[in-house]
Amino acid sequence: MIDRDEVLHVARLARLALSEEEIAPMARELSAVLDHIAKIGELSLENVAPTSHVVELSGALRPDEPRPCLPREVALAQAPAVGGDGFLVPSPQA
């Protein structure tokens, strides 16, 4: 069972603000989904290797060849705020 404090802790980790009305339903819905998920705990999984990906990848390498990248003005075109040559953001410390 996920409680209010846990919801707020996870929301902080996820960089997600929740409105007051969202907190209780979130706790309830996450708890309900986790109850279903908990069934995998009944399986005996010792000595089973984890699968993170179905495609076997071992360090995909390619020659380091210089190639053109997006022009700066194209990369900045969709930014909510631009300052000089870069993305403009609020100060990390108000």
Positions in the binding site for other proteins (CB under 8 A): 2, 6-7, 10-11, 13-19, 22, 26, 29-30, 32-34, 36-41, 43, 45, 48-55, 57, 60, 62, 70, 74-75, 77-81, 87, 89-94
Least Å from the CB of residue 66 to other proteins: 15
Overall residue count recorded for the chain in this entry: 94
* b/e map 61-77, b = 16+ CB within 10 Å: eeeeeeeeeeeeeeebe
Least Å from the CB of residue 85 to other proteins: 14
Least Å from the CB of residue 28 to other proteins: 10
Tokens representing 18 are: 């929740």
26 within 8 A of 18, measured Cβ to Cβ: yes
Residue given tokens 């979130």 in the structure block: 26
Pick between residue 15 and residue 64 the one whose CB is nearest to other proteins.
Answer: 15
